[in-house]
Chains A and B, each alone.
Chain A
Amino acid sequence: MGHEWLSLWSFLYGPLSIFLVGLYGLLTQKNLIKMAISINIMDYGVNLFIISLGYVPSAEAPIYTDAVKTYLPVFADPLPQALVLTAIVISVAVTAFILALTIKIHSQYGTTDLTKLGEMEL
């Protein structure tokens, strides 16, 4: 029971709550930089979720070595890890872009507060 509870927490509820924290940030924050951070937190949640999907209890790292010749090990699923790498790279790129955009907005409008920017936008 205890083990299952822990694994559910770390594999499903944990990442999900991190994701929801990010979503909450997007729902409430008015500052552009805080929004960028919220997006990042969301991405962390998602990435963690994907990684945890590849988890197999007491499995080995999916690396093909000589040891495989002697016994058949249980491997963790390598595919989510590959996916997460891609996802991380993409999220880094997007974060960089958002921050660059924030700098531009600040230099043009003198503020990063969405409520003040909203008036200029509409």
Chain B
Amino acid sequence: MSTLIFIGLAASLLIYAAARLSRPLGALLLMLLSGAGVAALILSWGKGFTETLPLGNGLELTFSLSTFNWPFLLLGAFVLFIVSLFAVNALKEMEHGASFLALLTLIGVSVMGVFGAYDFLTLFIFFELMTWTSFFLVSMGKTGAKKAALIYAFMSMIAAYLMISAIMMIAQYTGSFSYSDFMGMYEAMPSGIRTTVVIFFLAAALIKGGIYPVHFWLRSAHGDAPHVFSPVLSGLLVKYGYYSAFLFLLFFPVMVATKAGITQVTSTDGPNFILAFIGGLSIMAGTVAAILQSDAKKLVAFSSVSHGGYVILALAYGTNMAVAGGLAHIWVHVLTALGMFLSMGAVAYRTGTTDMDEMGGLIKNMPVTFTVYLIAIISVAGIPPLAGFVSKWMIIQALAANGSYILAFMAFFGSIGSFMYVFRPLATIFLGQRPHKFKDVREVPFFMQLAMLIVTLLTILLGIMPYYLLKPFTRIQEFIGMVPVKIGFSTVYSALTQLDMMLIFLVFGGGFLLALVIFLLFSKPTKVEQHEVYTSGEIAPEISTTPEIYHFSKGYYRSFGRLFSRWPSVEAWYHKGAAYISQFFEIIEQSLFKQSINGFIWLAVVVMAVLMAVRWF
């Protein structure tokens, strides 16, 4: 894998050069590379290896490919493959497109490093590589992107420093950075260090994963990043956080209990419950905030917060069903995030905006994009028969089976709430009144459609055949010594009941066909100009109405917003804190560095007096 990493580094230069010649060529090269990655991973199913890259002086980087990280590596390669396919057309008019592709290749390198790492040092190095490359990538977005990227980098650095502190504590205790040494010695570590390490690492993971209450960077970073990069952020980079959380959750009490074969969670598992509760809060906060967004991409960003909540909730809950559901939900969220962000990117590619209040009626112009979005949101909302239903079903089954009704309520809240927020772009972008300026909007070019359709197809197929969705994760469960969830080709068995997705698909498919038949049998509808709907075809000249004022998508959920307007906002506190820090820094500069010469001498005399006084007395 170290060879691959060096190839990746070299490839980023090559791709930069190629993209300078022609953007599509660069994107195609990246697509081929990541496609080769996908293929190689699928071919190496079931195989594994470990290799070390010595740096001298006792330092070495260790990489491995195993059942444990296989799905994550595949995920990284897949996201890059889809995004670079999308980028073949999408990057054409983008400023700095060549640098964009080169940096995206470096993201690919960081994927290999983070997911392929077998020691903490490697993990950290590639986390940091991701931080600075994605910082530049986010900065390339629209107006607010620069500020967004800085906040993003700031939060990432906090996470990185928490992580490195934890890693160094581990290294000091175990004498190495290796995962296996840590796993072996974890039980023997003093509980103080153990707690600190776990808290630091999980805090870092939550920041990277964009979980409430450290989620606020997601809004601007995902929302303002370039349209091509938002899917990577949401589909791939927050997964680094989930992955590192999962690494650490392996050591949590419940996981240890579950590994021993117990499936019943008891109320004494404090730490797990707190983390699961944080996940639940994240679901709710993300959902509510997403409902209130008027920018389509920010809406999707908050939906990522909510979905991250599901993953953390499920992984922290820790029964074998919950873990399988949570891991599967990571993959499901990759597909939905790609679907939603790519379709929003496609819309923005043609219309130049992501503000939902401005748009409407694009279903006629962009039917493929509409379909992609529709399938994605059905999966997001957890409506059968798509992949999203499977993972949510598993998570809620696990919660309900053990009687954790508060958490189950939170998970349900997210599901119901997601109906509300995913419907908003559907109604305001694709349905409803089409403003005149978007009359000539065309469907996006071929490669963009292709990228989106692959995602859609996978969402449907994995929904019908959950075996392919779940098998890698049950293998992880076997790998870490947990009782795997029982699955069939299209069925999942829980403690309470069983789920046959094929059956559900057939029922839904039958219903769809029935509706189609009814639609075709009855008479064709008459086509009218869209605004005629509102005035029954008559526009009274004295009212001087224009079609735009009937545009009902403005302030879509305004009344709902009033409902939540009194809720405490974590983001406001952060803003206040930042203002205080800024003032404080100003005071420091004024008092220590902006003196007259006499002032500096005074300073020196005072410092000298203090230093001597401290010695003497």
On whether A and B touch (CB less than 8 Å), the answer reads yes
Are A27 and B605 in contact (CB-based, < 8 A)? Answer: yes
Given contacts A23-B605, A27-B602, contact A35 B597 (CB under 8 A): yes
Are A118 and B596 in contact (CB-based, < 8 A)? Answer: yes
Residue of B nearest to A115 (CB): B596
* Residues of B571-617 contacting chain A, CB below 8 A: 594, 596-598, 601-602, 605
CA of A63 to CA of B596 in the docked complex: distance in angstroms?
48
* Residues of A27-50 contacting chain B, CB below 8 A: 27-30, 35
Residue of B nearest to A26 (CB): B601
CA of A30 to CA of B598 in the docked complex: distance in angstroms?
8
CA of A30 to CA of B597 in the docked complex: distance in angstroms?
9
Question: How far is the CB of A25 from the nearest CB of chain B, in Å?
Answer: 10
Are A114 and B601 in contact (CB-based, < 8 A)? Answer: no
CA of A28 to CA of B596 in the docked complex: distance in angstroms?
11
Is A122 an interface residue when CB atoms closer than 8 A count as contact?
Answer: yes
CA of A23 to CA of B594 in the docked complex: distance in angstroms?
20
Q: Which residues of B contact A115 (CB under 8 A)?
A: 596
Number of A-B contacts (CB under 8 A): 20
Residue of A nearest to B594 (CB): A122
CA of A76 to CA of B121 in the docked complex: distance in angstroms?
63
Are B605 and A114 in contact (CB-based, < 8 A)? Answer: no
Are A23 and B596 in contact (CB-based, < 8 A)? Answer: no
Residue of B nearest to A35 (CB): B597
Q: Which residues of A contact B601 (CB under 8 A)?
A: 23, 26-27
* Residues of A3-60 contacting chain B, CB below 8 A: 23, 26-30, 35
Are A114 and B598 in contact (CB-based, < 8 A)? Answer: yes
Tell me the dominant secondary structure on chain B's binding face: helix
Question: How far is the CB of B612 from the nearest CB of chain A, in Å?
Answer: 15
Q: Which residues of B contact A23 (CB under 8 A)?
A: 601, 605
Question: How far is the CB of B588 from the nearest CB of chain A, in Å?
Answer: 16
Are B594 and A29 in contact (CB-based, < 8 A)? Answer: no
Interface size on B, residues (CB 8 A): 7
Q: Which residues of A contact B602 (CB under 8 A)?
A: 27
CA of A114 to CA of B601 in the docked complex: distance in angstroms?
14
Residue of A nearest to B590 (CB): A122
Q: Which residues of B contact A122 (CB under 8 A)?
A: 594
CA of A115 to CA of B598 in the docked complex: distance in angstroms?
10
Task: Give the residue among B594, B596, B598, B602 with the most A Cβ atoms within 10 A.
Answer: B598
Residue of B nearest to A32 (CB): B597
Are B605 and A29 in contact (CB-based, < 8 A)? Answer: no
Question: How far is the CB of A114 from the nearest CB of chain B, in Å?
Answer: 6
CA of A122 to CA of B598 in the docked complex: distance in angstroms?
15
Q: Which residues of A contact B597 (CB under 8 A)?
A: 26, 35, 114
Q: Which residues of B contact A118 (CB under 8 A)?
A: 596
Are B594 and A28 in contact (CB-based, < 8 A)? Answer: no
Are A27 and B594 in contact (CB-based, < 8 A)? Answer: no
Residue of B nearest to A118 (CB): B596
Question: How far is the CB of B412 from the nearest CB of chain A, in Å?
Answer: 61
Q: Which residues of B contact A35 (CB under 8 A)?
A: 597
CA of A96 to CA of B596 in the docked complex: distance in angstroms?
22
CA of A61 to CA of B605 in the docked complex: distance in angstroms?
38
Q: Which residues of A contact B598 (CB under 8 A)?
A: 26-30, 114
* Residues of A63-104 contacting chain B, CB below 8 A: none
Question: How far is the CB of B595 from the nearest CB of chain A, in Å?
Answer: 9
CA of A26 to CA of B602 in the docked complex: distance in angstroms?
9
Residue of A nearest to B597 (CB): A114
Question: How far is the CB of A24 from the nearest CB of chain B, in Å?
Answer: 10
Question: How far is the CB of B65 from the nearest CB of chain A, in Å?
Answer: 60
CA of A118 to CA of B602 in the docked complex: distance in angstroms?
16
Question: How far is the CB of A23 from the nearest CB of chain B, in Å?
Answer: 7
Task: Give the residue among A27, A30, A35 with the most B Cβ atoms within 10 A.
Answer: A27
Residue of A nearest to B600 (CB): A26
Q: Which residues of A contact B605 (CB under 8 A)?
A: 23, 27
Q: Which residues of B contact A30 (CB under 8 A)?
A: 596, 598
Q: Which residues of A contact B594 (CB under 8 A)?
A: 122
Residue of B nearest to A117 (CB): B596
CA of A29 to CA of B27 in the docked complex: distance in angstroms?
68
CA of A29 to CA of B602 in the docked complex: distance in angstroms?
12
CA of A27 to CA of B601 in the docked complex: distance in angstroms?
6
CA of A49 to CA of B541 in the docked complex: distance in angstroms?
102
Q: Which residues of A contact B596 (CB under 8 A)?
A: 30, 114-115, 118
CA of A56 to CA of B597 in the docked complex: distance in angstroms?
39
Question: How far is the CB of A113 from the nearest CB of chain B, in Å?
Answer: 11
Question: How far is the CB of A112 from the nearest CB of chain B, in Å?
Answer: 13
CA of A26 to CA of B601 in the docked complex: distance in angstroms?
7
Q: Digit string of B50-63 for contact with A (CB within 8 Å is 1, else 0)?
A: 00000000000000
CA of A79 to CA of B602 in the docked complex: distance in angstroms?
33
CA of A23 to CA of B605 in the docked complex: distance in angstroms?
9
Task: Give the residue among B596, B597, B605 with the most A Cβ atoms within 10 A.
Answer: B597
Q: Which residues of B contact A26 (CB under 8 A)?
A: 597-598, 601
Q: Which residues of B contact A28 (CB under 8 A)?
A: 598
Extra contacts, 11 of them, besides A30-B598, A118-B596 (Cβ < 8 A), are: A23-B601, A23-B605, A26-B597, A26-B601, A27-B605, A28-B598, A29-B598, A35-B597, A114-B596, A115-B596, A122-B594
Task: Give 11 A-B contacts (CB < 8 Å), ordered by A residue.
Answer: A23-B601, A23-B605, A26-B601, A27-B598, A27-B602, A27-B605, A30-B596, A35-B597, A114-B596, A115-B596, A122-B594
Residues of A within 8 A of B (CB): 23, 26-30, 35, 114-115, 118, 122
User: Considering the complex of A and B, which 6 residue pairs feature the smallest CB-CB distances, nearest first?
Assistant: A26-B601, A118-B596, A27-B601, A27-B598, A114-B596, A27-B602
